[in-house]
């Protein structure tokens, strides 16, 4: 983001707020130290997720949704609650990270939100996720586990 005063193109973010579909960022120019505000549309703010192996993938809210739906399978958690968790997690990401967000941070945000809603879903999400430390790896692995469980129903289900 170019400084409107001195045209220097590096700034640090001093405050971020998400609104409906945009992020308002208060920035401080690294050269002249003056402050200015930018508004970025969320769908244009292309955030990348940094995975455990340092590879980058585009952030996809659907990956969080899939993970949550699997974790909340047969649990008393509504679509609205899942939507709300995703919205909250997204807001936190955009408020705290500008271009790249560690996948671990996303997982931690989902934990925090899920913990307050349904303990069983939380434990399911946590137990698998902790091993993988990555939402997308987790989602893939959990899908496989659930498919296997459906093929061989256990007494505990
Ligand atoms: Zn400046």
**Ligand 1 mean position, distance from CA 15 (Å):** 17
Ligand 1 ion local residues (Cβ < 5 A):
3, 5-6, 8, 29, 31-32
**Ligand 1 mean position, distance from CA 56 (Å):** 30
Query: What is the predicted pLDDT for the residue at 46?
Result: 74
Position with higher pLDDT, 128 vs 53: 53
**Ligand 1 mean position, distance from CA 90 (Å):** 30
DSSP string, 5-17: TT----EEEEEEE
Position with higher pLDDT, 110 vs 5: 5
Q: Are 89 and 95 in contact (CB under 8 A)?
A: no
At 61, list the tokens.
């809210």
**Ligand 1 mean position, distance from CA 11 (Å):** 8
Query: What is the predicted pLDDT for the residue at 30?
Result: 96
Which of the four pLDDT bands, split at 50, 70 and 90, describes residue 156? Answer: very low
Question: pLDDT digit string (tens) for 73-121?
Answer: 888 989 889 988 888 888 888 888 888 988 878 888 888 888 788 878 8
**Ligand 1 mean position, distance from CA 38 (Å):** 14
Spell out the domain ranges in the chain: 1-45, 48-151
- Answering whether pTM is above 0.75, one says no
Residue 121 CB neighbours (<10 A): 23
**Ligand 1 mean position, distance from CA 10 (Å):** 8
Spatial neighbors of 52 by CB under 8 A, at least 6 apart, are 103, 104, 132, 133, 134, 137
């Amino acid at each position: 983001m170019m400084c409107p005063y001195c045209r220097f193109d590096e700034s640090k973010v001093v405050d971020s707020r998400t609104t409906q579909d945009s992020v308002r960022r208060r920035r401080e120019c690294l050269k002249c130290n003056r402050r200015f505000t930018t508004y970025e549309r969320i769908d244009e703010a292309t955030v990348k997720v940094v995975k455990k192996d340092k590879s980058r993938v585009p952030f996809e809210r659907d990956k969080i949704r899939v993970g949550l739906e699997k974790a909340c399978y047969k649990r008393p958690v509504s679509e609205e609650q899942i939507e709300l968790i995703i919205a909250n997690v997204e807001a936190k990401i955009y408020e705290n990270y500008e271009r790249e967000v560690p996948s671990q941070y996303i997982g931690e945000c989902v934990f925090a939100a899920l913990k307050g809603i349904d303990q069983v879903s939380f434990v399911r999400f946590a137990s698998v996720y902790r091993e993988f430390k990555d939402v997308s790896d987790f989602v893939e692995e959990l899908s496989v586990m659930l498919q296997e469980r459906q093929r061989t129903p256990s007494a505990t289900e």
